[in-house]
Amino acid sequence: MAKASVPAKIGQEIQLARIKKNWSQSDLAEHFGWGPSGQTLISRLEKGSTKTDADKLKTILDFLNIEQDAEDGQEDQNISGILSEYRLVPEYNVRVSAGHGEYTGIEVVKRQLQIPQIWLPENGQLGLVRVEGDSMFPTINNGDYVAVEFSSGYTADGLYLIRVDDTAFVKRLQRKFGGIRIISDNPQYEEMQISHDDGNQFALIGRVTLIVRKT
């Protein structure tokens, strides 16, 4: 089977074109019916693998409308600049509650989304989750997404993703002597309070760093 050399800039162009479509590597591989091995191939291409199957490379480039003979120089700098301005943030296949609901854990990545780096913290593990319910209205609407910095700890009063018993909530936390106030921005919902003795029923999953409105 013929192998083709792949310049590093072609890998960057594949990654950029895929991000613009809001597709993950697995999405692209599944589109072509290639399965897990296809995802591995695409990952290697984007990292600058020097050799790959020529037919598959042509299939990817044709689908993404990428010209393989693009000139070097300024174009490479533009691609690298665009990629450096964005961060790929995984969307997890779970919905959390702003009111009431069940929570089974954040485990499966649904897709990778392109978020401007300037809106996000420089470090930390981030993920997007969808919020259901109206208890945080008007701050968060039903169906909005929030970017969560996992394992951030309690840094200051603000919005957090928390677990109470077996349910995950997005709520506003405020430290109070002897415990924490759990506040809903919608005044129709009652405030909750957690004391230091409620560790088995309460856990802080992460800090909300960004709200993405549903369109």
Per-residue model confidence (pLDDT) at position 215? 67
User: 84, 106, 140 — which closes off a domain?
Assistant: 84
Under 8 Å between Cβ of 53 and 1: yes
| Residue 199 shares a structural domain with residue 117 | yes
CA separation for the pair 130, 169 (Å, rounded):
11
- Please work out, in degrees rounded to the nearest 5, the angle formed at the alpha carbon of residue 38 by the alpha carbons of 61 and 81: 50
Per-residue model confidence (pLDDT) at position 70? 45
Per-residue model confidence (pLDDT) at position 57? 82
User: 59, 84, 109 — which closes off a domain?
Assistant: 84
Per-residue model confidence (pLDDT) at position 168? 84
* H or E element that contains 19: helix 8-20
Q: How many CA atoms lie within 13 A of 62 on its CB side?
A: 7
| Residue 49 shares a structural domain with residue 140 | no
| Residue 68 shares a structural domain with residue 152 | no
* H or E element that contains 169: strand 167-176
pTM score of the predicted model: 0.60
User: 18, 49, 84 — which closes off a domain?
Assistant: 84
Give backbone dihedrals phi and psi of 67, rounded to 5 degrees, phi first.
Answer: -85, 125
| Residue 10 shares a structural domain with residue 64 | yes
Per-residue model confidence (pLDDT) at position 136? 93
Q: Per the structure block, which two tokens stand in for 49?
A: 């693998």
Average pLDDT of the residues of the chain: 79
| Residue 61 shares a structural domain with residue 143 | no
* H or E element that contains 54: helix 54-63
The CATH number of whichever domain residue 48 belongs to comes to 1.10.260.40
Per the DSSP assignment, residues forming a β-bridge with 44 are: none
| Residue 37 shares a structural domain with residue 70 | yes
| Residue 166 shares a structural domain with residue 135 | yes
| Residue 103 shares a structural domain with residue 208 | yes
| Residue 80 shares a structural domain with residue 96 | no
| Residue 108 shares a structural domain with residue 203 | yes
Residue span of the structural domain in which 52 resides: 3-84
Give backbone dihedrals phi and psi of 106, rounded to 5 degrees, phi first.
Answer: -100, 105
| Residue 116 shares a structural domain with residue 200 | yes
Compute CA distances 197 → 5, 91, 101, 168, 200, whole Å: 61, 33, 24, 19, 8
Under 8 Å between Cβ of 48 and 139: no
Per-residue model confidence (pLDDT) at position 185? 94
Per-residue pLDDT of the chain (215 residues; tens, 9 = 90+): 556 666 777 888 888 888 888 888 888 888 988 887 888 888 888 776 556 777 788 888 888 888 765 444 444 444 445 445 778 888 887 777 765 444 445 557 777 777 888 888 877 788 898 898 999 999 999 999 999 998 778 888 999 998 887 788 899 999 888 788 999 999 999 998 887 666 557 888 899 999 998 76
The CATH number of whichever domain residue 166 belongs to comes to 2.10.109.10
Number of domains making up the chain: 2
CA separation for the pair 140, 119 (Å, rounded):
17
| Residue 66 shares a structural domain with residue 97 | no
Q: Per the structure block, which two tokens stand in for 213?
A: 């409105």
